[in-house]
Chains A and B, each alone.
Chain A
Amino acid sequence: MAIRGETGEWEVVIGLEVHAQIVSRAKLFSGAATAFGAEPNTQVSFVDAAFPGMLPVINEVCVSQAVRTGLGLEAEINLRSVFDRKNYFYADLPAGYQISQYLQPIVGKGTLTLDMPDGTIKTVGITRLHLEQDAGKSLHDQDPRLSYVDLNRSGIALMEIVSEPDMRTAEEAGLYLKKLRSIMRYLGTCDGNMDEGSMRADVNVSVRKPGAPLGTRCEIKNVNSMRYVQQAIEYESRRQVEIIEGGGTIAQETRLFDSRQSTTRPMRSKEHAHDYRYFPDPDLLPLVLDPEWVEELRRALPELPDTKKARFMREYSLTPYDAGVLVADRETAAYYEAVARGRDGKLVANWVMGELFGRLNKAGKSVSDSPVSAAAVGELVDLVADGTISGRTAKDVFDEMFATGKGARAIVKAKGLTQITDTGAIEAAIDGVIAANAEKFEQVRAGKDALLGWFVGQVMKATGGKANPASVNEMLRKKAKG
């Protein structure tokens, strides 16, 4: 996103730190539940509340989820990683420290590819992924003098996924988040639900003249929707350009996004210079992974979006754009493939992306709660392909299927929508139309092809739309010649 300022073009440099909640039943270091929406402090163990003498024991699933995510990001898996304490005082941080990974994270460098709308691909570097605990939740608007603290989230496993400062536009940042979410959802390692806080982004923004060294960055904390991330970047980059062009300098600081005004402002509670005093948590030992175990996880990974996209393009002759849309989410891809297997992939893509998505969108539904199953769509596509119904009719049938959940064949049968394939009946209809419009047909005979379409239409009308337009056309041509 080049910004045009008074002094010319500015380049925006964006890096993202995503906190992704790991899909697990229990917390990272305790046996309390992770479910969303429980009554306050009901999913809290004495470990999560940092009672005296409590000790952490790591959840094996959280470890494998982090490794699987790392593998999905084609990242280095560090066979030895270390848990550190990040020390700071805050109301929702009961121990006065967060168990995190600092110098030796579980996952190192990786990459993530963005499918740009113009069909090109952009690669964004992943710096690292580390495991850490979530904090509790403070509510500030319940009482004039007090903040309320709920520790249900305290100790839930997070992956902090840090990107390189490789993005240049708000759009790229949005694509990055979507792609990251897509990969994690394929893997089942994070549900990506930003509304419930299971994915939050810290956005690092700086600006520079093209080709100049990196500028001073500001970190916008805990932005919790894709749209907000983009708005935050747009506001923040303009703010920085204005400051620099006005002769000022950017202070490296932590800022908050104000969603009502779509602006950012400095975070008060982070004003004091932080000194987290990281040191290895003496209650834990280094996490050492068995290389064979990592290989097992690698072998068991599902097909991920990039691979699936390439395969869809190859096997179903899809365009990069269509393939990209279809693989963005695992359920959609599976749905498409269930329909497309053994059928014309392009035709199926049109039905799924055009007809199905359109109707789902209107109904506010997703593929996983579609009233029309993949098998039902396949049946419909087959009816069109074998000429039983016309494409036009099929769209009406789809409406009915969507509304009632009935099968295509059943609807076609009940409503008598089957195309007339009996050539005798079509011929009779054609003859009737020609007889009634003899003069006009003479013109067709004389070579006025444009009129042929009018005759096709008349025949279709006469047959109640049940004739196959292609065969009507062909038979009319024959008559004109003969």
Chain B
Amino acid sequence: MELTDLTIAAARTGLAKRSFSALELADAHIAAAAKARDLNAFITETPERAREMAGRSDARLARGEAGLLEGIPLAIKDLFCTEGVRTTAGSHILEGFVPPYESTVTANLWRAGAVMLGKTNLDEFAMGSSNMTSHFGPVKSPWTRRGDNRPLVPGGSSGGSAAAVAARLALGATGTDTGGSIRQPAAFTGIVGLKPTYGRCSRWGIVAFASSLDQAGAFARTVEDTALMLQSMAGHDPKDSTSFAAPVPDYAAALGRGVKGLKIGIPKEYRLDTMPEDIERLWRQGIDWLTAAGAEAVEISLPHTKYALPAYYIVAPAEASSNLARYDGVRFGLRVEGETLDDMYERTRAAGFGAEVRRRVMIGTYVLSAGYYDAYYLKAQRVRALIARDFTEAFQRVDAILTPTTPSAAFAHGEKTADPVQMYLNDIFTVTVNLAGLPAVSVPAGLSGDGLPLGLHVIGRTFDEETVLGAAKVLEDAAGFVARPY
């Protein structure tokens, strides 16, 4: 078996038994990444740093001081600031930016012994569902449709991370999820994507997109591996005022708890008329798997589901328009000189931001501006309250909710790009979760008619990642998903 085919759990065992060294494990992934450059999964590869970190892991392993992720090579979404390693957010405007600090989440991973392979590609400022908006070019999914070689999107915004894990360029990867940016690419690339509860992982040092929605999470090829990663990433951070001040439970221990006796909600509003038959079938299959494992399926109603996306497309751009005001050419990143200060600002920001970012900054500025604030921004926040209330009420009756992750399988480069709204609809099943701040996971559960992966989506109560992981494990075991991109 190739070292790059290992799970994180198996790699830990192998390293502990000294079957191979952390350096060998790192080298195998460095080589794999070098061979798969056509995917454009990485913006920055850091092989020297990976070898150096792996060397230190080997020393700690030898001393019996291994951390939870000792020697595990990971890919980091290029939205996490990494000290001394350029961080781009997929944008031209951060040109040349080298953070003098390390994000809390990545610092936590390095403290657990993980090894950084590099920084992965993403939609610019995490704004997208296709990874087509990166200044550093689109990411190609390692998957293709059966009998069709057109390049497919890996999903977005964490598309580089998803592609890297699916293509065996890393054992795991970090992502961030503002409207579905972990779960949707995980579903598109046939891997597991875990978005924890808002506040579970610190946002400190992560380039902000929409502060009230952004949450860091994990990609890996098994549910157990994402649990191991979350274990290391999560925790209270006094530097983030919205960080959850409670100890992190033992997620690995929760994997075996199963779903026996649990009530699983099936929201009727997720049954779209336009939903492809294979997605519908997969969802029914998922319900059967859970009931076979002892859960009871309960039909529930989340009546405001339909309004989640439009509410999101007010809240997220509004926050983004303000969060992105700091990219002004003064302290870091790109500067396009101008006659006056304002001229410099306008030229820098027009040149530095891509079309989708400019579009969202415009929308966000508009909905916050005088005369429109109440009609758009406050209205969206009220709808957000109703969406959160839908979940609160549902969770009085059920322990977790099962839906498909996406309304379709991955699409090809160039598809769905003409109309922004068509692109936004990708997140229709995931975005409600961000508005309510809930934990959720996407598990690869089957293939579409043309051989592309599809994901099932488990949503849990606030800070109840354990139930989510337990249910995800049941689905994973039942699905026995073994398909590989190549």
Contact = CB atoms under 8 A, between A and B. Distances in A.
Please say whether the chains A and B touch (CB closer than 8 A): yes
Interface of A: 46, 49-58, 85, 87, 89, 91, 94-97, 147, 149, 275, 277-279, 282-285
Contacts of A89: 325, 328, 342, 345
A53 B81 CA distance: 7
A52 B94 contact: yes
Contact of B322 (A49, A53, A57, A87): A87
Contact of A94 (B239, B242, B326, B373): B326
Contacts of A97: 322, 325
B13 interface: no
B411 interface: no
A46 B239 contact: no
Contacts of B97: 52
Interface in B242-286: 242
B87 A277 contact: no
B400 interface: no
Contacts of A278: 368
Contact of A55 (B94, B204, B325, B370): B204
The 6 closest A-B pairs by CB, nearest first: A96-B325, A282-B211, A277-B368, A282-B212, A53-B205, A50-B326
A43 to B, nearest CB: 16
A55 B203 contact: yes
Given A87-B322, A96-B322, A96-B328, A55 B239 contact: yes
Interface stretch (B66-74, B98-106, B305-313): B98-106
A51 B238 contact: no
B208 A52 contact: yes
Contacts of B319: 279, 282
Interface residues of B, number: 44
A38 to B, nearest CB: 18
B417 interface: no
Given A54-B204, A282-B212, A277 B341 contact: no
A88 B341 CA distance: 13
A278 B101 CA distance: 30
B326 A96 contact: yes
B392 interface: no
A285 B242 contact: yes
Contacts of A282: 210-212, 242, 319
Interface in B323-373: 324-326, 328, 330-332, 341-342, 345, 365, 368-370, 373
Judged by DSSP, the binding face of A is: loop
B171 to A, nearest CB: 25
B240 interface: yes
A50 B206 CA distance: 13
Interface in B59-105: 80-81, 87, 89, 94, 97, 99-101, 103
Contacts of A57: 238-241
B188 interface: no
Nearest to B366: A277
Contact of A53 (B206, B212, B318): B206
B365 A53 contact: no
A108 B341 CA distance: 37
B122 to A, nearest CB: 14
B42 interface: no
Contacts of A285: 241-242
Contact of A277 (B242, B330, B369): B369
A91 B330 CA distance: 8
Given A46-B100, A279-B373, A85 B331 contact: no
A94 B325 CA distance: 9
Given A52-B207, A57-B239, 6 more contacts: A51-B99, A53-B103, A55-B204, A85-B322, A147-B341, A275-B370
B377 interface: yes
Given A51-B99, A52-B208, A282-B319, A95 B331 contact: no
Q: Which of B97, B240, B321, B325 gathers most chain A CB within 10 Å?
A: B325
Nearest to B333: A52
A53 B208 contact: yes
Given A91-B341, A277-B365, A277-B368, A51 B331 contact: yes
Contacts of A283: 208, 211, 241-242
Given A89-B342, A277-B369, A52 B326 contact: yes
A52 B211 CA distance: 12
Contacts of A55: 203-204, 239-241
A56 B81 contact: no
Judged by DSSP, the binding face of B is: loop
A425 to B, nearest CB: 80
B326 A95 contact: yes
B27 to A, nearest CB: 31
B346 to A, nearest CB: 9
A52 B325 contact: no
Interface of B: 80-81, 87, 89, 94, 97, 99-101, 103, 203-208, 210-212, 238-242, 318-319, 321-322, 324-326, 328, 330-332, 341-342, 345, 365, 368-370, 373, 377
18 contacts: A46-B101, A52-B81, A52-B89, A52-B94, A53-B99, A53-B203, A53-B204, A55-B239, A87-B322, A89-B342, A147-B341, A278-B368, A279-B322, A279-B377, A282-B212, A283-B208, A283-B242, A285-B241
B52 to A, nearest CB: 24
Contacts of B326: 50-52, 94-96
A123 B239 CA distance: 43
Contacts of A275: 369-370
A278 B212 CA distance: 16
B325 A95 contact: yes
B322 A51 contact: no
A46 B205 CA distance: 10
Contacts of A284: 241-242
Contacts of A94: 326, 330-331
Nearest to B243: A55
A46 B100 CA distance: 9
A49 B331 contact: yes
Nearest to A46: B101
A58 B365 CA distance: 26
Contacts of B94: 52
Contact of A149 (B81, B99, B330): B330
B421 to A, nearest CB: 24
A51 B368 contact: no
A341 B356 CA distance: 74
A101 to B, nearest CB: 15
A149 B341 CA distance: 12
Nearest to B368: A277
B135 to A, nearest CB: 15
B413 to A, nearest CB: 28
A272 to B, nearest CB: 9
Contacts of B238: 57
B383 to A, nearest CB: 16
A97 B322 CA distance: 7
Nearest to B208: A53
A277 B367 CA distance: 9
A19 to B, nearest CB: 22
A279 B81 contact: no
A184 to B, nearest CB: 27
Contacts of B100: 46
B454 to A, nearest CB: 33
A56 B211 CA distance: 12
A284 B242 CA distance: 7
A58 B241 contact: yes
Contacts of A147: 341
Contacts of B211: 282-283
Nearest to A274: B370
A147 B342 CA distance: 13
A283 B240 CA distance: 8
A279 B380 CA distance: 13
A279 B242 contact: no
A193 B74 CA distance: 54
Given A50-B331, A96-B328, A97-B325, A87 B368 contact: yes
Contacts of B341: 91, 147
